[in-house]
Amino acid sequence: MPPEIKICGLSSPETVDAAVEAGATHIGLVHHEPSPRHLSLEQAAALRARVPARVKIVLLLVNQQPQPTVAALQAVKPDIVQFHGSETPEWLALIKQNVAIGIWKAVGLKDAGTLDRAQRFSGVADLLLYDAPATKLLPGGNGIAMDWSLLAGHRHTLAWGLAGGLTPGNVAEALRTTGAPLVDVSSGVESAPGIKDVDKIRAFIRAAAA
């Protein structure tokens, strides 16, 4: 079965439309001001309105306080919220109790022990997104690949996906190595930080779906 494909950090109608038309299953919208892919809530809501129901909208948040989190979810109405900071299982559980929404948690995969530690999100996260470890500047979208062998043969007890340094040129190898059921790309389909390239988006989706 082909993997699900998330194109993250989209910021223009043209790139959103290209990702949808090429076959992306998920569109990621970033609401995190330090990121070059940051969208205001108004911008994110406008892009969200362009996306057909068959494609899921994922809103990425980083270490937001309760009130801004609720405001973001109400404004954008995503299908899924992706927490990409140091959010705790208790925080995710609180969201899950109060909002009917899918919850993803990004986890920086440093070593094999990370896989064990990530089990603390069992029961509160609907999916774990394994990414390269965060840098001092940004928690994700840095174009850094992880050691895929850490995931090879691992018995996952939670739904999961693979991010971090994926490109049209390496996503097929990443899928062969890890067996990931979902792949997530951001900087790997850009011509400059925060500027998505429609040809790279199409190439990535073709390579991942092959």
**pLDDT per residue as tens digits for the range 105-120:** 999 998 888 999 999 9
- The mean of the pLDDT values for the chain is 93
CA-CA distances (angstroms) from residue 33 to 20, 36, 64, 124?
25, 8, 11, 26
In the chain the domains, ranked by start, together with CATH numbers, are 4-209 (3.20.20.70)
Rounded average pLDDT over 145-174: 91
Q: Which residues contact 16 (CB under 8 A, 6 or more apart)?
A: 10, 27, 47, 50, 51
Please report the pLDDT score of residue 73 as a whole number: 96
Rounded average pLDDT over 21-45: 97
Does residue 137 register a pLDDT over 60? no
Please report the pLDDT score of residue 98 as a whole number: 87
Does residue 57 register a pLDDT over 80? yes
Rounded average pLDDT over 132-144: 57
Please report the pLDDT score of residue 153 as a whole number: 82
Does residue 136 register a pLDDT over 50? no
Q: What's the rounded Cα separation, in Å, for the pair 137 and 135? A: 5
Phi then psi for residue 6, to 5 deg, are -110, 125
99 or 75: which leads in pLDDT: 75
Q: What percent of the chain has pLDDT over 70?
A: 94
